[in-house]
Amino acid sequence: MAEKTDYEALAANLLKAELKRKGVTYSQLVEKLAAIGVDEKEVNIRNKLSRGKFTAAFLLQCMIAIDLRALRL
């Protein structure tokens, strides 16, 4: 398995931190994503965040689902 790049780790850590800050669990994220028409399974979200491999579109979907309007780098 390939190692995460610095940018993949940064993206995953930013999203995980915002989920934690908002108090949103992975199962709650699944529900919030479903509410905006995005079909994801909890295990898939765990894998994406663990690997740090996800699209910018997925990041934006998560941000919208948890009502996050800005990310601070």
Structural domain includes residue 72 = no
Residue 21 has pLDDT above 80, yes or no: yes
Structural domain includes residue 73 = no
Structural domain includes residue 23 = yes
Domain boundaries, position 50: 6-65
Structural domain includes residue 52 = yes
Structural domain includes residue 37 = yes
Q: DSSP secondary structure string, 16-58?
A: HHHHHHHT--HHHHHHHHHHTT----HHHHHHHHHHT---HHH
Q: What percent of the chain has pLDDT over 70?
A: 96
Structural domain includes residue 54 = yes
Residues 6+ apart with CB under 8 A from 68: 18, 22, 62
Structural domain includes residue 26 = yes
Q: How confident is the model at residue 1 (pLDDT cuts 50, 70, 90)?
A: low
Structural domain includes residue 47 = yes
